[in-house]
Structure 1
Amino acid sequence: MLSALEVFTTVVVGVMVGVEFCVAFVVNRILDALPEDSGQLGRAHGGRMLGAVMPFWYIGSLVLVVLWTVAGWHRQGAALVVTAGVLLVVSVLMSVLLLVPINNRGKTWTPGNRPEDWKEQMKRWDRFHYVRVAVIIAAFALLAAALVRAAL
């Protein structure tokens, strides 16, 4: 049963990393290249859609890592799982303190009501998001290493 939890947790976190990586390096670049107001409208829609899902995914991933830590405390690689959990806590804190406030503003913007500095705010969100992606990639790598270590 613990092996199933380890694999499931690694997959859930890995898919989350893939989605966030895609947002950072593919979707936002596509949106930014669209003409006129299309990119801003796309970012607003993405903020509403992903803003509704990602809190559950981030917290759910953290809960799974905590369960893995508790259930697998005696196994090889437990320190890797704990470190991954700490990184996921950092990613949640970054989200709540840095990214969500910008996202909450941006998801309500239209071409008629957006502030003059909307592009700068989106660039700030992107910079924070790049750091968050790096943090969750590191967490995922640690979980993958712990999974391999536990199998030895």
Structure 2
Amino acid sequence: MLDALEVVTTVVFGVMVGVEFSVAFVMNPILNALPEDSGQLGHAHGGRMLGAVMPVWYLTSLALVAVWAIAGWHHHGTGLVVTAGVLLILNVIMSLLLLVPINNRNKTWTPENRPADWKEQMSRWNRYHYVRVAGLIAAFALLVAALT
């Protein structure tokens, strides 16, 4: 049963990391290259769509990591799983404090109502997101290492 939990956790978490990675290194560059207001409108739509899905995905991943750590407490690799969980918790805290407030503003912006500093706010969100992605990749690597 622990083996199945490990695989499910790794897959759910890994796909989430892949989505966050693709936002940073695929979708944002594409949206930023679109002409005129299209990129900003795309960012707003992405903020609404992913803003609804990602909290559930993060909490599900966190719950799965916690269950893995508890269920496998006396097994090899538990320290790696706990460390991955701590990194994930830090990412959630960082997201709530730094990224979510910007995203909550961004998802309501249109070309008519966006603030004058909207590009600076999006640039700040991107910088925080790069840090988040690095933390998620590190946590994912720890989970994979715990499997061996």
When normalised by structure 2's length, the TM-score is 0.99
Distance across 2 between alignment mates of 1:26 and 1:118: 20
1:97 Cα deviation (Å)? Answer: 0.4
1:35 Cα deviation (Å)? Answer: 0.1
1:23 Cα deviation (Å)? Answer: 0.2
Paired residue type of 1:87: L
Q: Percent identity?
A: 76
- Residue aligning to 2:46: 46
Paired residue type of 2:4: A
Please list every run of 5 or more consecutive structure 2 residues that lacks an aligned counterpart in the other structure. Answer: none
1:61 Cα deviation (Å)? Answer: 0.4
1:103 Cα deviation (Å)? Answer: 0.1
Aligned counterparts, 1:53-132, within 5 A: 53-132=53-132
Q: What do residues 45-87 of structure 1 show as CA deviations (whole Å, max 9, x unaligned)?
A: 0000000000000111000000000000010000000000000
1:117 Cα deviation (Å)? Answer: 0.2
Paired residue type of 2:43: R
Does residue 22 (structure 1) correspond to residue 22 (structure 2)? The answer is yes
1:101 Cα deviation (Å)? Answer: 0.1
When normalised by structure 1's length, the TM-score is 0.97
- Residue aligning to 2:146: 146
Distance across 2 between alignment mates of 1:10 and 1:83: 14
1:34 Cα deviation (Å)? Answer: 0.2
Question: Secondary structure of 1:15's match?
Answer: helix
Paired residue type of 1:146: A
Distance across 1 between alignment mates of 2:147 and 2:38: 43
Distance across 2 between alignment mates of 1:10 and 1:91: 17
Please list every run of 5 or more consecutive structure 1 residues that lacks an aligned counterpart in the other structure. Answer: none
Question: Secondary structure of 1:101's match?
Answer: helix
- Residue aligning to 1:10: 10
1:129 Cα deviation (Å)? Answer: 0.2
